[in-house]
């Protein structure tokens, strides 16, 4: 099993492809060459599998279309604003109906995994290969990741934190940002991005063709009793409206 990458887990399907039958896998367990993580999933006894290794196995062994996104993808680029105390939350995204194996949720990887199924953006647009935890993983670019943060806001991701992260994104690529915004199915996300980009004076904003975007009709409220931003037809928290 020369293809084994330290820190990953091995599924029965992958082992079978390597010439290891389920019967042989059980013999390896009995011989302490393998140790079960869950039914049909194994690790090497000398290694502690990581969430990155588990995700690598999902992406390469099971060919699941799941990627690291939102604040986690931004953190991998050094763009996350806050240093968090306690357990890290890792944001994973897949298309609607993209169910992850039960063992990924039940095993303790040392982090809290938050999986979002959504199709507000096309599956592959703005997804890159990047090095994380010693593995080559699929993760969102900064352009896609900030839109994923806005998709999760305000319930899962804080709007103020998202704005403060966005303020630091001074090198967003106009062509990719334009493509993502045009393909984005969420009116809320598009309006929030344009509002925050305007407020933060992001360089990318002057290169965007906003007249090509479907921004919908009517108002969108992020909170009750907030401040109305007429230009973007948004009701946002007062703390965000006055934030500098």
Residue extents of the structural domains in the chain: 1-49, 65-209
What integer pLDDT is reported at residue 1 of this predicted model? 61
* pTM of the full structure: 0.94
**Tens digits of residue pLDDT in 150-206:** 999 999 999 999 999 999 999 999 999 999 999 999 999 999 999 999 999 999 999
Here the tokens at position 241 are 């409206």
pLDDT at 18: 92
CA separation for the pair 133, 143 (Å, rounded)? 22
The per-residue pLDDT for 62 is: 94
What per-residue confidence (pLDDT) applies to 86? 74
How confident is the model at residue 42, as a pLDDT?
96
Residue 87 pLDDT: 84
| Neighbouring-strand partners of residue 221 | 235
Q: Where are the alpha helices (DSSP H) in the chain?
A: 12-17, 22-30, 51-60, 70-76, 102-106, 142-152, 159-167, 174-183, 187-199, 238-241
Q: What is the pLDDT of residue 81?
A: 58
**Residues of the chain falling short of pLDDT 70:** 1-2, 80-85
Residues in the chain: 244
């Amino acid at each position: 099993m020369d293809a084994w990458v330290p820190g990953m887990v091995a599924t029965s399907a992958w082992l079978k492809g390597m010439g290891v039958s389920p019967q042989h896998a059980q013999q390896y367990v009995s011989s302490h060459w393998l140790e079960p993580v869950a039914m049909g999933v194994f690790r090497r006894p000398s290694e502690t599998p990581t969430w990155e290794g588990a995700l690598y196995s999902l992406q390469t062994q099971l060919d699941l279309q799941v990627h690291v996104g939102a604040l986690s993808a931004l953190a991998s680029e050094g763009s996350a604003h806050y240093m968090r105390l306690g357990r890290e939350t890792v944001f994973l995204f897949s298309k609607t109906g993209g169910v992850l194996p039960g063992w990924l949720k039940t095993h303790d990887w040392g982090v809290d995994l938050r999986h979002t199924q959504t199709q507000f953006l096309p599956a592959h647009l703005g997804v890159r290969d990047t090095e994380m935890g010693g593995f080559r993983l699929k993760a969102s670019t900064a352009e896609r990741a900030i839109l994923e943060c806005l998709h999760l806001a305000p319930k899962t991701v804080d709007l103020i934190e998202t704005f403060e992260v966005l303020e630091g994104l001074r090198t967003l690529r106009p062509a990719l940002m334009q493509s993502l915004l045009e393909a984005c199915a969420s009116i809320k996300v598009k309006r929030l991005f344009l509002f925050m980009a305007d407020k933060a004076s992001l360089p990318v904003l002057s290169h965007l063709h906003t007249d090509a975007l479907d921004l919908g009709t009517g108002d969108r409220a992020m909170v009750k009793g907030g401040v109305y931003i007429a230009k973007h037809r948004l009701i946002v928290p007062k703390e965000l409206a006055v934030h500098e």
